Amino acid sequence: MPPPDGFFEGQPSGAQAHYRALESLYRAAPINRLFESKLEIVTDGHARILFTVDERFHHAAGAAHGTIYFKMLDDAAFYACNSLVSDRFLLTTAFNLLFTKPITAGPIVAEGHWVSGRRRVFVGDARLLDSEGEEVARGTGTFMRSRIPLATLPGYAGR
């Protein structure tokens, strides 16, 4: 028996379903209970992480610790690349950072995009923007296909 008319209306399919499932996977990751942030994937090879810096994330000199920069840049580049892979979870194999300005407080956005690779190894770039849109850091990572099927991970596709 076919589904009723309108059953699939409003339900994402294809790439959009994959993007929403990756966003769900991101929300389900235990690390994001410590670093409350939001992932947005709009199109293949592009991801954005939204985060707010406050004094909880400061080092002794009163600015955001480098872990914030790394976490947000790695996540943005990683999910930009994993948006192109619908069957396997990618793993970060290397990541390089360039810090250009300290962040003390306010919203930040990490914008990630896929650079190259589609088979086994992917390269992604990301930049971190402060509340005024000024770049405060950038990073480049390499990501490798794992043997872990996305569909088996808690949070992916509502699991």
Give pLDDT tens digits along the chain (159 positions).
Answer: 333 344 344 556 799 999 999 999 999 999 999 999 999 999 999 999 999 999 999 999 999 999 999 999 999 999 999 999 999 999 999 999 999 999 999 999 999 999 999 999 999 999 999 999 999 999 999 999 999 999 999 999 765
Residue 95 lies in a domain: yes
Paired tokens of 86:
């619908």
DSSP 64: B
Residue whose structure tokens are 């929300």: 27
Which among 107, 38, 102 has a CA at the least distance from the CA of 75?
A: 38
140 is in which domain, residue-wise? 41-158
Residue 28 lies in a domain: no
Residue 7 lies in a domain: no
Which among 71, 69, 72, 75 has a CA at the least distance from the CA of 98?
A: 69
Q: What total number of domains does the chain contain? A: 1
* pTM for the whole structure: 0.90
Residue 131 lies in a domain: yes
Q: What are phi and psi of 71, to 5 degrees?
A: -55, -50
Residue 92 lies in a domain: yes
Residue 149 lies in a domain: yes
